[in-house]
């Protein structure tokens, strides 16, 4: 981190003067606001019986603001970042402080116990954030849905508007006492700030210039004191009526932690607060991730979230040793500079400088800042968030996402950030589940007539499979199967089973593109199996991933239990099995339905004399099982005709895996290598005893010289075979498009 700080410092020297000037103004303004917030934090924790220690509490908060703002301004991924102790942490610490002070008679013991709780929670938060960043778990932020971030920013805008009213009037805004704000004296305090905020908003939306906001702020302060001068109202009277931030306690706020008094702590009370102690790092992590995501969206800057977590974690360890509450990126303060186009690391440095001066010299200068100007600035930022997400985003977001933003705004306004974010996430998840369930998991629905196995069959078998192929229904699945999509799949299977003409006999589900399933999907598959088995329909699963197969097995889907349920490793083999079943049932004499090579030639050439002459050039071979007829990569100079039996064309990949390309029952192999004179692209292996006829390249050339008519008929026959294959391939492709 020391090296990063040095590099950042060198770059700061090269900045131009106008950026430094604007950064100074923004740093001082944000510094004033930060000092005010830190004073309120110290007062909130050290209140009641602990009010005598409020100066120490403010000093601890200011020390944290100095550490976070100065260091993170230089090492963060964001330019213009401001980081301070946060109200989420302070609210929990305030609860613990009340519990401790109410249980201990001695104020000194209660105070030192509260101080230790602050130190311990900050150190614990730092360790947790650093470890999460170190193990690179911060990328989980990328899973936060866009409308949830938008709702978070919108809720931030609402709370900033409400908080600005409190800054200007000194009265916390709530609907229960809204009538108070319409009293003449109170309305006179917030109305100028509201008008000032709207004026800034209008000018900033119309003029995109660096100097608009600084000029408005300086002009607002000048106008405030000019009005007071013309009305001859002294500063003391203005302060007495509550128009200024002061008065604050005189002198500095820095009081180091009295570590020598740690022995006075009440350890029993500390153990009793461990639930709240653990809540602090959890809330800090959630709020930090949301703030970082919100800053990214509002400033259009990318960040390294794990780097941010590590940096914030280390700085919490440093700040904790000085008594600070845990801190991290401040969303509203960081976005403020960006709103006027300043992306300078000096903003955080000047903010820290303001806090340092206040920490050691006191808040006398800060006390003279007009509340309407500061409150108007805070309200402007809140209004900017609201306008951006309630009006500008209305035409950009889908209706469902815009509804989530509105819902989160209402919940955050009524119950706070965490309930609002929780509701937004729940509604987003439900919306996603509903929308995703409308997307069918069935990528393709094919019949056996449209999609056939890679088995080359004789013409009669192809005609039969075309006629009976609708008995086979193939559903190619995709994506993740859960309760919504699985129910749609079950409904589709019911539709297929309700068909009467043609009657479905085989339902195949292909899992090749399925990423996973849940328990509800397994239940749907069990229902589908019972339905198919009840109607004596074969239910077949193919290409089932290993993990999915384990889930199905645990869910009770075992192929061993029924003759109507099967699991195949490959869709091609499953379709082949279905086709064989159809051929066995549909052919009068299946074995004799296959044409011999002579009849096949005669079917195409239709001239017995030419076929007879052509056969004289063919040689017959009887081959045993597993005979390698053609070897992948080797030269091939003969064309083989499969007369009986089966051969398989298989491809060996570089990793050693073997893939079946086609199975040929009655067809031709080796024609490509022979015609093109290239090495064999695949191996041809017999699946059992086979009888083949082959013609060598030399015999083919001889036939072309001696009997050109027979050679032409032969080439016609080869073209016919290739055309058949092309038609089958086109049919399959047409079905998939």
Question: Where residue 82 falls among pLDDT bands split at 50, 70, 90?
Answer: very high
To the nearest 10°, report the CA torsion of 97, 102, 103, 108.
70
% of the chain beyond a pLDDT of 70: 91
User: Tokens 């977001």 belong to which residue?
Assistant: 397
Judged against a pLDDT cut of 90, whether residue 122 lies above it is answered with yes
> Measured in Å, how far apart are the chain's first and last C-alpha atoms?
56
Question: Residues 507-552: pLDDT tens digits?
Answer: 999 999 998 898 888 888 989 998 998 899 999 999 999 888 888 8
Judged against a pLDDT cut of 70, whether residue 731 lies above it is answered with no
Q: How far is CA 309 from CA 77, 87, 595, in A?
A: 11, 19, 74
Judged against a pLDDT cut of 90, whether residue 148 lies above it is answered with no
What average pLDDT is seen over the chain? Answer: 83
Judged against a pLDDT cut of 80, whether residue 595 lies above it is answered with no
* Residue 500: strand, helix, or coil: coil
Question: Where residue 578 falls among pLDDT bands split at 50, 70, 90?
Answer: very high
In the predicted model, what is the mean pLDDT of residues 722-734? Answer: 70
Judged against a pLDDT cut of 60, whether residue 359 lies above it is answered with yes
According to the model, what pLDDT value does residue 67 have?
95
Question: Residues 193-225: pLDDT tens digits?
Answer: 999 999 989 988 888 666 677 788 888 889 999
Judged against a pLDDT cut of 50, whether residue 593 lies above it is answered with no
Q: Hey, which of 47-56, 80-89, 311-320 has the most confident mean pLDDT?
A: 311-320
Q: How far apart are CA 696 and CA 715, in angstroms?
A: 14
Q: Which domains does the chain have, with CATH numbers?
A: 2-431 (no CATH), 442-592 (3.30.750.24), 596-736 (2.60.120.10)
Q: Which residues pair with 477 in a beta bridge?
A: 442
According to the model, what pLDDT value does residue 351 have?
92
Of the candidate ranges 64-73, 375-384, 507-516, the one whose mean pLDDT is the lowest: 375-384
Judged against a pLDDT cut of 90, whether residue 129 lies above it is answered with yes
Q: How far apart are CA 334 and CA 234, in angstroms?
A: 35
Judged against a pLDDT cut of 60, whether residue 591 lies above it is answered with no
Of the candidate ranges 121-135, 257-271, 647-661, the one whose mean pLDDT is the lowest: 257-271
In the predicted model, what is the mean pLDDT of residues 651-659? Answer: 83
Judged against a pLDDT cut of 70, whether residue 590 lies above it is answered with no
User: Tokens 């303004």 belong to which residue?
Assistant: 29
In the predicted model, what is the mean pLDDT of residues 456-472? Answer: 80
Q: How far apart are CA 41 and CA 36, in angstroms?
A: 9
Quick check: 37 and 374 in contact, CB under 8 A? no
In the predicted model, what is the mean pLDDT of residues 556-573? Answer: 80
According to the model, what pLDDT value does residue 644 have?
83
Closest CA to 541 of 527, 552, 533: 552
- Comparing 266 with 344, the larger pLDDT belongs to 344
Angle, helices 708-736/697-706, rounded to nearest 10 degrees: 120
Closest CA to 600 of 469, 417, 457: 457
According to the model, what pLDDT value does residue 235 have?
86
According to the model, what pLDDT value does residue 10 have?
56
According to the model, what pLDDT value does residue 542 have?
94
Judged against a pLDDT cut of 60, whether residue 189 lies above it is answered with yes
In the predicted model, what is the mean pLDDT of residues 674-698? Answer: 86
Q: What is the DSSP string of 637-654?
A: -EEEEEEES-EEEEEE-T
% of the chain beyond a pLDDT of 90: 20
According to the model, what pLDDT value does residue 467 have?
84
Question: Where residue 621 falls among pLDDT bands split at 50, 70, 90?
Answer: confident
According to the model, what pLDDT value does residue 328 have?
94
- Comparing 239 with 475, the larger pLDDT belongs to 475
According to the model, what pLDDT value does residue 57 have?
87
């Amino acid at each position: 981190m020391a090296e990063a700080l040095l590099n950042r410092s060198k770059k700061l020297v090269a900045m131009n003067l106008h950026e430094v000037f604007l950064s100074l103004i923004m740093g001082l303004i944000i510094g004033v606001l930060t000092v005010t917030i830190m004073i309120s934090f110290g007062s909130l924790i050290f209140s009641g019986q602990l009010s005598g220690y409020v100066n120490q509490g403010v000093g601890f908060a200011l020390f944290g603001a100095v550490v976070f703002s100065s260091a993170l301004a230089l090492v963060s991924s964001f330019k213009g970042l401001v980081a301070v102790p946060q109200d989420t942490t302070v609210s929990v610490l305030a609860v613990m402080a009340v519990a401790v002070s109410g249980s201990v008679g001695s104020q000194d013991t209660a105070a030192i116990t509260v101080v230790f709780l602050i130190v311990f929670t900050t150190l614990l938060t730092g360790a947790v954030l650093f470890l999460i960043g170190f193990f690179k778990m911060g990328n989980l932020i990328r899973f936060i849905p866009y409308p949830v971030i938008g709702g978070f920013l919108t809720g931030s805008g609402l709370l900033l508007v409400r908080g600005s009213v409190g800054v200007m009037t000194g009265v916390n805004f709530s609907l229960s006492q809204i009538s108070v704000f319409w009293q003449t004296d109170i309305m006179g305090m917030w109305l100028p700030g509201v008008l000032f905020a709207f004026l800034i908003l209008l000018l900033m939306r119309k003029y995109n210039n660096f100097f608009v906001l600084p000029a408005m702020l300086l002009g607002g302060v000048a106008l405030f004191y000019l009005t007071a001068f013309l009305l001859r109202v002294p500063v003391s009277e203005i302060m007495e009526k509550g128009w200024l931030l002061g008065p604050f306690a005189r002198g500095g706020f820095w009081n180091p932690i009295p570590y020598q008094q740690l022995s006075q702590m009440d350890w029993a009370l500390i153990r009793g607060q461990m639930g709240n102690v653990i809540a602090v790092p959890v809330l800090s992590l959630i709020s930090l991730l949301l703030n970082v995501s919100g800053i990214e969206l509002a400033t259009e800057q990318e960040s390294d979230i794990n780097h941010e977590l590590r940096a914030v974690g280390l700085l919490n360890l440093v700040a904790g040793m000085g008594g600070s509450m845990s801190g991290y990126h401040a969303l509203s303060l960081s976005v403020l500079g960006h709103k006027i186009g300043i992306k300078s690391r000096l903003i955080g440095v000047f903010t820290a400088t303001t806090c340092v001066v206040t920490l050691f010299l006191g808040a006398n200068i800060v006390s003279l800042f007009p509340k309407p100007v500061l409150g108007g600035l805070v309200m402007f930022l809140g209004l900017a968030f609201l306008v951006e997400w309630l009006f500008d985003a209305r035409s950009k977001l889908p209706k469902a996402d815009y509804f989530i933003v509105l819902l989160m705004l209402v919940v955050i306004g009524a119950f706070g950030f965490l309930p609002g974010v929780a509701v937004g996430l729940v509604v987003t998840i439900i919306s996603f589940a509903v929308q995703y369930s409308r997307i069918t998991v069935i990528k393709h629905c094919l019949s056996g007539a449209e999609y056939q196995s890679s088995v080359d069959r004789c013409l009669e078998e192809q005609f039969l499979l075309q006629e009976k192929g609708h008995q086979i229904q193939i559903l190619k699945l995709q994506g993740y199967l859960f309760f919504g999509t699985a129910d749609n799949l079950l409904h589709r299977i019911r539709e297929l089973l309700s068909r009467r003409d043609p009657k479905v006999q085989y339902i195949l589900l292909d899992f090749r593109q399925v990423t996973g399933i849940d328990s509800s999907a397994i239940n749907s598959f069990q229902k589908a199996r019972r339905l198919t088995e009840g109607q004596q329909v074969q239910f077949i699963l193919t290409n089932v991933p290993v993990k999915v197969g384990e889930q199905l097995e645990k869910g009770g889907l075992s192929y061993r239990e029924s003759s109507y349920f099967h699991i195949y490793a490959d869709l091609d083999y499953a379709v082949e099995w279905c086709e064989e079943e159809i051929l066995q049932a549909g052919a009068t004499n299946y074995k004799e339905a296959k044409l011999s090579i002579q009849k096949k030639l005669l079917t195409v050439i239709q001239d017995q004399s030419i076929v007879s002459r052509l056969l004289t050039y063919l040689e017959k071979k009887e081959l045993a099982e597993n005979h390698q007829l053609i070897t992948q990569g080797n030269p091939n100079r003969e064309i083989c005709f499969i007369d009986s039996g089966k051969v398989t064309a298989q491809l060996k990949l570089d990793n050693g895996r073997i893939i079946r390309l086609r199975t040929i029952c009655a067809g031709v192999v080796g024609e490509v290598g022979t015609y093109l004179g290239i090495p064999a692209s695949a191996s041809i292996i017999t699946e059992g005893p086979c009888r083949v006829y082959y013609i060598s390249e030399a015999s083919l050339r001889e036939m072309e010289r001696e009997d050109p008519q027979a050679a032409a008929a032969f080439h016609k026959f080869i073209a016919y075979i290739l055309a058949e294959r092309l038609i089958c391939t086109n049919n399959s492709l047409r079905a998939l498009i």
